[in-house]
Structure 1
Amino acid sequence: MFGTSIHWTTFFYLLIDTFIVVFAFFHSKNNRQNNLNRYLILGLLFIFYNLTGGFLPIKNFPGPFILQYVITYGVALIMGIYLFYYIYKEYDIEFLNSHLTISNISIYGTLCFFGLYLFPYYLTNSIDIARLSFTIPVSLISLYFLYSFYKKISTSEKNNQSALRRNKLSLLSVACIALLPVLTVIGDYQWLTFTVVNISFFAITIIEVDRFLFFLEHKKEIAGVFKFYKVNKFDSKFLKKNLTRRELEIAMSILDSKSYKEIGEDFFIAESTVSKHASNIFKKTSTKNRIEFTTRFKLQEK
Structure 2
Amino acid sequence: MFGTSIHWTTFFYLLIDTAIVLYLLYVSFKKTHSSLKHFIYLGFSIIAYNITGGFLPIVNFPGPLIIQYIITYSVAIFLCLYIIYYLYKEYDIVVLKYNLTLKKVILITSFGFILLFLFPYFISGSLNLSRYLFTIPISIFAFVFLIIFYRNISKPSNSNTFILRRNKLSTLSLASIALLPVFTIIGDYQWITFTLMNTAFYAITIMEIDRYLFFIKNNTRMFEIFALKKKQRDDFVKQKIIYEDLTRREIEITLSILSELNYKNIAKELFIAESTVSKHASNIFKKTGVKNRSEFLKRFLNKQK
TM-score (normalised: structure 1): 0.90
1:11 aligns with 2:11: yes
Say which SS state the counterpart of residue 245 (structure 2) adopts.
coil
1:243 aligns with 2:246: yes
Structure 1 range deviating more: 217-226 or 146-155: 217-226
After superposition, what is the alpha-carbon deviation per residue over 1:235-272, rounded to whole angstroms, capped at 9, x for unaligned? 9xxx8982111101111221232222332233222322
Deviation at 1:20, TM superposition (A): 1.3
1:86 deviates by 0.6
Match of 1:225 in 2: 225
Q: What secondary structure does 1:159 align onto?
A: coil
Distance 1:240 1:63, change over 3 A: farther
Amino acid at match of 1:156: P
- Partners in 1 of 2:215 and 2:32 — Cα distance? 13
Q: What amino acid sits opposite 1:17 in the alignment? A: D
- CA deviation profile, 1:143-201 (whole Å, cap 9, x unmatched): 11111122223343322211111101100000001111111111101111111111111
Equivalent residue for 2:294? Answer: 291
How many residues matched?
300
C-alpha distance 34-249 of structure 1, shift in aligned 2 (>3 A): farther
Asked if the contact 1:10–1:194 (Cα under 8 Å) also holds between the matched residues in 2, the reply is: yes
- Partner residue, 2:202: 202
What is residue 277 of structure 2 aligned with on the other side? 274
Partner of 1:172: 172
Say whether the 8 Å CA contact 2:33–2:244 is kept in structure 1: no
Residue identity in the other structure for 2:61: F
- Tell me if structure 2 keeps the 8 A contact 1:13–1:198: yes
The match for 1:136 is 136
Relative to structure 2, which stretch is displaced further, 208-217 or 142-151?
A: 142-151
Structure 2: segments with no counterpart, 5+ residues: none
Q: Which amino acid aligns with 2:203?
A: A
Match of 2:64, as an amino acid? P
Q: For 2:255, give the aligned amino acid.
A: M
Q: Indicate how the Cα distance of structure 1 residues 272 and 241 shifts in structure 2: closer, same or farther if over 3 A, else same.
A: same
Distance 1:44 1:256 in 2: 37
SS at match of 2:88: helix
CA RMSD of aligned residues (A): 2.5
Q: Partners in 1 of 2:228 and 2:190 — Cα distance?
A: 51
**Which consecutive residues of structure 1, in runs of 5 or more, have no partner in the other structure?**
none
C-alpha distance after superposition, 1:104-152 (max 9, x if no partner): 2212211111111110110011111111111111111111111112222
* TM-superposed deviation, 1:227: 4.2
The 2-side partners of 1:202 and 1:250 are apart by 25
Task: Tell me: CA distance 1:268–1:99, structure 2 relative to 1, closer, same or farther (3 Å).
Answer: closer
